[in-house]
Amino acid sequence: MKKIVRNIVLIIATLLFILYAQKNFDSYTLSILNNIGIFAILALSYNLINGVAGQFSLEPNGFVAIGAYFTAILLIPAETKVDMFALVDPAPIILQMKAQFLPAIVIGGIAASLVALLLSFPVFRVRGDYLAIVTLGFGFIIRIFAINNPAYTNGAMGLNDIPSNANFIWIGSIALITFIVMIHIIYSKFGRAMKSVRDDEDAATAMGINTFKMKTYAFMTSAFFEGLGGGLLASMLTTITPDQFSFLLTFQLLIIIVLGGLGSMSGALIATILVMGGMEWLRFLDDNIVLFGKDFGAHPGTRMVVFSIILIIMMLFARRGILGDKELFDYFKKKSK
């Protein structure tokens, strides 16, 4: 009982903070908080398939793109679409698609989740690490598809004038919901079963666990929240292009969940803040570098070199990340009787 009261207090406090921040913080601070919120949603959900279920996947950019496109198409008014589509006329269905903000992002999430279901059949029925390569390929296919179907996506030019509904109240609350859902999954028979698949697939099967089903549940859940996050991202940025959803996005999320500790949701939250902060802080690396009075010019990508080295070093020497696969409160929990 005490635990429930404590949790409710924490949730209310978080919601109050979100409301306060939206009302009182300046737009710069809010934009940082929005970014952190969206990355938290993505990292938490990515952590479910990669960390909890232990299935190495490289999908977030693909599913975020699906969510973003669905949301954008559902939110942009038909007249705006007609004006915007420059290469070809928009397909009739694109003009008909219309929804309110919340249904729009949920539809984006469901769409991503259904694609995850389709991908599950080829990759989870066989053993091996095909999920990684299939999802990596999928990220490229989405881009190819977006570029080659201008009647649906406006091709390489992307979509703009997306109504900007996603404020910090939306983003913050959905991040909170995502966290709660993930924790609820982890501390249930489904979370245990997912972890058992990660630890020893044969032994899990021998205990009656349907490993295909558990992997698919994890994957679809991840995809749903990534799609949702994509919708929020589209509405926050108001402009999307196929090139935005490159592997870079997935790579940043991978760093976050590795740093937080694969399988730890509270770790992913902490790491989101650290990595997003680090990204800002290391921005100077991509700018002009001046050493001993000599200008070496700008070298975009330097930050990514640094981050890939950090990732490799962490895998080699600090594989457990900040919190291992435990949650923050596990460390404070007294031994239960």
Partner 1 sequence: MNIDIFLQQLVNGASLGSMYALIAIGYTMVYGVLRLINFAHGDIMMVGAFLTFFATSAGMPFEVAVLIGIVGSAIIGILTDKIAYKPLREAPKISLLITAIGISFFLENLFTVLFGSTPKAFKAPEYLTKIFHLGNIYLPISVIIIPTVTLLILAIVLWILYKTKYGMAIRALAFDIQTVKLMGIDADKIIMIVFIIGSALAAIGGVFYAVSYPSIDPLMGIIVGLKAFAAAVLGGIGSVGGAVVGGFILGFTEIFVVAMFPELGGYKDAFAFFFLILVLLFKPTGIMGQDLERGRF
Partner 2 sequence: MGNSILKIENITMQFGGVTAIKDLSFEVQKGQIYGLIGPNGAGKTTIFNIITGNLTPTSGFVIFENENITSTKPNKVVYKGIARTFQNIRLFKSMTVLENILIGFDAQANYSYFEAILRLPRFFKKEKEIRQKAYELMKIFGIEEFADTNATALSYGNQRKVEIARALATNPKLLLLDEPAAGMNPNETAELSDIIHKIKKDFDLTILLIEHDMKFVNAMCDQLTVLDYGAKIFEGKPADAIVDEKVISAYLGDFSHA
Write down the least CB distance from residue 55 to partner 1, Å: 8
Work out whether 184 is an interface residue with partner 2 (CB under 8 A). Answer: yes
Work out whether 195 is an interface residue with partner 2 (CB under 8 A). Answer: yes
Write down the least CB distance from residue 219 to partner 2, Å: 13
Residue 242 to residue 159: CA distance in whole angstroms:
9
Q: What is the DSSP letter of 159?
A: B
Binding mask 103-142 for partner 1 (x = CB under 8 A): ------------------xxx-xxxxxx-xxx-xxx-xx-
Q: How many beta carbons lie within 10 A of that of residue 35, not counting itself?
A: 17
Identify what 193 binds: partner 2, partner 1, none; CB under 5 to 8 Å per kind. Answer: partner 2
Work out whether 117 is an interface residue with partner 2 (CB under 8 A). Answer: no
Work out whether 319 is an interface residue with partner 1 (CB under 8 A). Answer: yes
Residue 134 to residue 276: CA distance in whole angstroms:
28
Write down the least CB distance from residue 132 to partner 2, Å: 21
Angle at alpha carbon of residue 148, lines to 79 and 119, rounded to 5°: 105
Q: What is the size of the binding site for partner 2 (CB under 8 A)? A: 28
Identify what 83 binds: partner 2, partner 1, none; CB under 5 to 8 Å per kind. Answer: none
Q: How many residues does the chain have?
A: 337
Residue 263 to residue 260: CA distance in whole angstroms:
8
Instruction: Give whichever of 51 and 172 is closer to partner 2, judged by the CB atom.
Output: 51
Residue 286 to residue 302: CA distance in whole angstroms:
6
Site for partner 2 in 249-308 (CB under 8 A): 263
Write down the least CB distance from residue 123 to partner 1, Å: 6
Residue 71 to residue 269: CA distance in whole angstroms:
25
Identify what 20 binds: partner 1, partner 2, none; CB under 5 to 8 Å per kind. Answer: none
Work out whether 189 is an interface residue with partner 2 (CB under 8 A). Answer: yes
Of residues 50, 135, 196, 241, which one binds partner 2 by CB under 8 A?
196
Q: How many beta carbons lie within 10 A of that of residue 282, not counting itself?
A: 14
Residue 10 to residue 6: CA distance in whole angstroms:
6
**Segment near partner 2 (CB under 8 A), from 30-38, 134-142, 152-160, 186-194?**
186-194
Write down the least CB distance from residue 324 to partner 2, Å: 9
Q: How many beta carbons lie within 10 A of that of residue 74, not counting itself?
A: 22
Work out whether 56 is an interface residue with partner 1 (CB under 8 A). Answer: yes
3-state DSSP assignment of residue 83: helix
Alpha helices (H) in the chain, listed in sequence order:
2-24, 27-47, 60-75, 78-84, 92-96, 101-124, 130-148, 150-153, 168-186, 189-199, 201-206, 211-237, 247-260, 265-281, 302-317, 328-332
**What sign for the dihedral angle of Cα 174, 180, 186, 188?**
negative
Write down the least CB distance from residue 289 to partner 1, Å: 10
Of residues 21, 147, 183, 328, which one binds partner 1 by CB under 8 A?
147
Q: How many beta carbons lie within 10 A of that of residue 130, not counting itself?
A: 14
Paired tokens of 40: 């938290």
Chain contacts with partner 2 (rule: CB under 8 A): 181, 184-185, 188-190, 192-193, 195-196, 198-200, 202-211, 217, 263, 325, 335-336
Chain contacts with partner 1 (rule: CB under 8 A): 50, 54, 56, 58, 121-123, 125-130, 132-134, 136-138, 140-141, 144-145, 147-148, 201-202, 247, 251, 254, 258, 262, 299-302, 304-305, 308-309, 311-312, 315-316, 319
